[in-house]
Amino acid sequence: MRQVTIALSKGRLTKYSVDLFKKCGIECEGLTADTRKLIIESKNSDYRFLLVKPSDVPTYVEYGIADVGIAGKDTIMESKTSVYEMLDLGFGKCSVCIAGFEQSAKKNITANSLRVATKYPNIAKEYFMEKENIEIIKLNGSVELAPLLGLSDVILDIVETGITLKENGLIILERVCDVSARVIVNRVSLKIKLYEINELLLKIKQVIKEEEEQA
Amino acid sequence: MSISIKKNIPNGVQDYAPLECKNKRSVEESLRKNFELWGYNEVQTPAFEYYDVFAHGIGSYRQEKLIKFIDSDGRILALRPDLTLPIARLVTSTHKDLTFPLRFFYIDDAFGFDNPSARDQRQFTQAGIELIGESSPYADAEVIAMAIESLQVAGLTHFTIDIGQVDYFKGLIEEANLTDKQGEQLRKGIDTKNMIDVENILSDSKIKGELKEKILELPFLYGGEEVLEKAKEFATNERSRRAVENVGKIYEALCSYGYERYLSIDFSMLQEIEYYTGMIFKGYVMELGSPLLGGGRYDSLLAEFGYSSPSTGFALSMKSILIALEKQSGFKENINIDVVVGHDEISSKEAFKFMQKHRSEGKRAASAMGTSCEEILVYAKKIGAKEVYYIKNNQIEAIK
């Protein structure tokens, strides 16, 4: 069997991903949610795991450095990479939303486009493309701050529980799409490591099915 | 899935809806009137020219900043990135027929990528003046005075004009015998008040003692009139000394004109020092994070086009003015209609006559396309009309 390299997101999805591969029966002692290692090999060397920044998972997969990756749908959409999106894992569920004040402040006449603060400029661009002209303000965190301080009119961000929004006096104005963790596969790997990857996908599918039945 | 972008506009351009448009035109008109009162004449140059006008020498733009296209004969054309270069070209090619000093103004659109003075706009209206053929400090004072008056007639009340002099720095660099590269690094460090960089550059160079101290003080040479005294103390070389003297005269003149409260001095303002040759200035308001106008003396530019003449001027960003104006005091102009007139089938001629009468009195009169008086009143209210009439069987009746 040829080794399959799997890129995992460090952060929100790490714990779920680690559990998933345990349930798939892959023996890999080093693979824990709090590991500091960046490359971890399974006991029989069938699999190799990479722990990378969430937004980098699609990149590793697109370039074929990793054959398979686990990443949030939001990250995949934002990355605009060309990979196969093969399975919905059902965990890491949340939605991409437009949020802002319930009653929008009186807009300045000289403000000609809606200012959208976001970590996801590509998603924002695509979503508003057919709707209206926007000015994208790219932020890297605490996006909720932007409308509070007048840096933007609204935000586009992922919303899990909505608590952060609520605590900052913001509400969801529009739901862009629902997102969850996905399995992505490199286009060439799927052909060349056909057997190995199909086997892995089957195992994952089985786990998802069992989980669904339990729930 | 194909995306329809028919409703959208590209980045960096905008529509001016009636209210913003009205206020933009009103500010432009006030500026135009004021420029004319100062003896300046308006010029218009083409929206695009040969790329060469903007591509080489002093004042030129980097290739990627210009919006270019190809002429039918294969030559490269570019949309004008500012109005000063076209005017320099115009003056150079027609100078034999002109009477100097020239006083020109313009209110027109310019185009380009990443224009820092116009935020992220790629098409932006600029208003500005050029005073060509005068080298005295009073010419510079005139230009700054006009910049101040421009902001005043536009309706702004709170603003600051920051005056600098690039020759002061150039004198120190000469004195220090720095290479061009070191000089440029130092300029950047001082302009951005990056003290760590400035100190590193100085310790790498051979500059020692008093001169080093002076350069280290340069980033802090800003403030009120007292800065002039301090700068004079530091100026041991002829070039820097003359630069301080020059700013002193300009400052003094402006104070005597009554503009003191708007002024500040900054010898560490060091942008575009290739382009500017003497006094430079920028205008700021609290409401905006970037300057809304800028200008200075650019004595070497015209020579680039083949005719040498001392020049000074400024340009302001219309969009910045409008944003500042709306935030400072709100827009003055509205788009209300004064008189609304509705009529029945047979009274159209009477309605026309009636509206023309109002129009001749300078009132804005529009006909209402409603059938009932209720409909007309709703429409009239929405467009802010104070007088509403309905003409039935050629009888005029005021319904509001």
Q: Which mean pLDDT values do the consecutive 10-residue runs of chain B (400 residues) have?
A: 75 92 98 98 97 92 94 97 96 92 97 69 95 97 98 96 94 87 89 89 84 88 92 90 95 97 94 90 92 95 93 96 94 94 93 96 90 88 93 92
Q: What percent of chain A has pLDDT over 70?
A: 99
Q: Would you state the pLDDT for residue B116?
A: 55
Contacts of B261 (CB under 8 A, 6+ apart): none
Q: Does B9 touch chain A (CB under 8 A)?
A: yes
Tell me the pLDDT tens digit for each residue of B169-211: 999 888 888 888 888 889 999 988 888 888 988 888 888 888 8
Tell me the pLDDT tens digit for each residue of A75-125: 999 999 999 999 999 999 999 999 999 886 677 888 888 999 999 999 999
Q: Is B115 left (phi over 0), alpha (psi -120 to 50) or beta?
A: beta
Question: What phi and psi values does residue B270 have, to the nearest 5 degrees?
Answer: -135, 60
Q: Does B331 touch chain A (CB under 8 A)?
A: yes
Contacts of A16 (CB under 8 A, 6+ apart): A89, A91, A92, A181
How far is B203 from B186, CA to CA, in rounded Å? 12
Q: Give the residue from A110, A114, A127 with the most B CB atoms within 10 Å of its CB, the best one to mutate.
A: A110
Nearest-CA distance A135 → chain B (Å): 8
Tell me the pLDDT tens digit for each residue of A12-35: 899 999 999 999 999 888 888 888
How far is A113 from A144, CA to CA, in rounded Å? 19
Contact at CB, B8 and A135, closer than 8 angstroms: no
Closest CA to A184 of A94, A97, A95, A79: A79
Q: Would you state the pLDDT for residue B3?
A: 67
Q: Is the ipTM of this complex over 0.90?
A: no
Q: Of all helices (H) and strands (E), which one includes residue A69?
A: strand A68-72
Question: What phi and psi values does residue A117 have, to the nearest 5 degrees?
Answer: -90, 135
Domain coordinates in residue numbering, chain B: 7-156+285-335, 160-278, 339-398
Contact at CB, B8 and A113, closer than 8 angstroms: no
How far is A138 from A122, CA to CA, in rounded Å? 10
Q: Would you state the pLDDT for residue A9?
A: 94
Nearest-CA distance B154 → chain A (Å): 15
Q: Does B13 touch chain A (CB under 8 A)?
A: no
Nearest-CA distance B382 → chain A (Å): 18
Q: State both tokens at B299.
A: 């004595």
Closest CA to B312 of B168, B88, B134: B134
Q: Of all helices (H) and strands (E), which one includes residue A163?
A: helix A163-167
Query: What is the number of other CB atoms lying within 10 angstroms of the CB of residue B32?
Result: 17
Which of A112, A133, A135 lies closest to B8 in CB terms?
A133
Tell me the pLDDT tens digit for each residue of A122-152: 999 999 988 888 889 999 999 999 999 989 9
Contact at CB, A109 and B5, closer than 8 angstroms: no
Nearest-CA distance B151 → chain A (Å): 17
What's the predicted TM-score (pTM) here?
Answer: 0.86
Domains and CATH numbers, chain A: 4-92+180-214 (3.40.190.10), 94-178 (3.40.190.10)
Closest CA to A46 of A28, A64, A22, A23: A28
User: How many Cα atoms are found within 13 Å in the side-chain-facing hemisphere of A109?
Assistant: 23
Give the amino acid at A185. V
| Torsion of Cα atoms, A144 then A147 then A153 then A155, to 10° | 0
A137 pairs with which residues across the strands? A117
Q: Which CATH superfamily is domain B339-398 in?
A: Anticodon-binding domain (3.40.50.800)
B97 pairs with which residues across the strands? none
Q: Would you state the pLDDT for residue B372?
A: 85
Question: What phi and psi values does residue A96 have, to the nearest 5 degrees?
Answer: -90, 125
How far is B159 from B287, CA to CA, in rounded Å? 9
Q: Does B1 touch chain A (CB under 8 A)?
A: no
Q: How far is CA B255 from the centre of its chain?
A: 23
Residue pair B166/B298 in contact (Cβ under 8 Å)? The answer is no
Beta-sheet pairing, B387-392 with B395-398: antiparallel
Q: Is B376 exposed, middle or buried (0-12, 13-18, 19+ CB in 10 A)?
A: buried
How far is B338 from B49, CA to CA, in rounded Å? 44
Q: Does A109 touch chain B (CB under 8 A)?
A: yes
Q: State both tokens at B109.
A: 């659109």
Q: Give the residue from A106, A108, A109, A129 with the most B CB atoms within 10 Å of its CB, the best one to mutate.
A: A109
| Angstrom distances, CA of residue B39 to CA of B146, B205, B253, B314 | 11, 50, 19, 16
Q: Give the residue from B1, B20, B27 with the most A CB atoms within 10 Å of its CB, the best one to mutate.
A: B20
Q: Would you state the pLDDT for residue A132?
A: 85
Residue pair A201/A87 in contact (Cβ under 8 Å)? The answer is yes
Q: Does A133 touch chain B (CB under 8 A)?
A: yes
Going along B139-238, which residue ranges are E strands? Answer: 160-165, 222-223
The fold for domain B7-156+285-335 equals BirA Bifunctional Protein; domain 2 (3.30.930)
Q: Does A130 touch chain B (CB under 8 A)?
A: yes
Contact at CB, A109 and B8, closer than 8 angstroms: no
Q: Of all helices (H) and strands (E), which one includes residue B266?
A: strand B263-266
Q: Would you state the pLDDT for residue B119?
A: 60
Going along A103-148, which residue ranges are E strands? Answer: 114-118, 134-138
CATH of domain B160-278: 3.30.930.10
Q: Would you state the pLDDT for residue B236?
A: 85
Query: What is the number of other CB atoms lying within 10 angstroms of the CB of residue B75?
Result: 10
Contacts of B308 (CB under 8 A, 6+ apart): B302
Contact at CB, A129 and B15, closer than 8 angstroms: no
How far is A114 from A120, CA to CA, in rounded Å? 16
Q: Would you say the C-alpha torsion B229, B233, B238, B240 has a positive or negative sign?
A: negative
